[in-house]
Amino acid sequence: MAALFDHVGFDLAYYTVPAAFVLLFAPHMYAVQLAGKNHDLTIRGKMVDNVVQDEGVPKKVRQRIIRAEAATANGLETIGLYAAAVVAAKVAGVETGAINSLAVAYLASRAVYNYLYVIAQDDAGRASYRSVAWCVGIGIVFTLFIKAGNAGNAPRP
């Protein structure tokens, strides 16, 4: 295991891509756990319909399941852009520390986004906080691309 991490100046960025995938998948796993018998592995995507039709599921739980699935979908929509930004920054030669910091901040923004969307948004007044967390994450992705562009356009000795 040590050989996987055996180099000078630990480079974290590429490891954050699978970590981001795990993070985007976490709300789905939470929804599956909440859905219980309404989750059917044989019919993908049917869980939300089953939960909505099951009058025995409390409204708060039903809404959390729906929001958890939406959070997962949002993560799937943005992870490709994030992964491309990490690769662009690495290939362009952006300083490792800067990429690492932005990558960790991205993971934090996604964790906060998931929490705000799935749990904290039981109070609808917190919906704008979720949007802020999403904007922070996308801002980090843009920053990675801009740093990559700047590094690629820097004069070479």
Mean pLDDT, the chain cut into blocks of 10 residues (157 residues total): 50 94 96 86 77 85 92 96 97 94 96 95 86 97 97 77
Q: Are 99 and 88 in contact (CB under 8 A)?
A: no
In this predicted structure, what is the pLDDT of residue 9?
61
pLDDT value at residue 157: 67
Question: What does the pLDDT read at residue 112?
Answer: 97
- Residue 6: the pLDDT is 44
Q: How far apart are CA 27 and CA 10, in angstroms?
A: 29
pTM of the model: 0.88
Q: What is the pLDDT of residue 46?
A: 81
Domains and CATH numbers, the chain: 11-152 (1.20.120)
- Looking at residue 87, its pLDDT comes to 97
Amino acid identity of 54? D
Write down the pLDDT at residue 75. 96
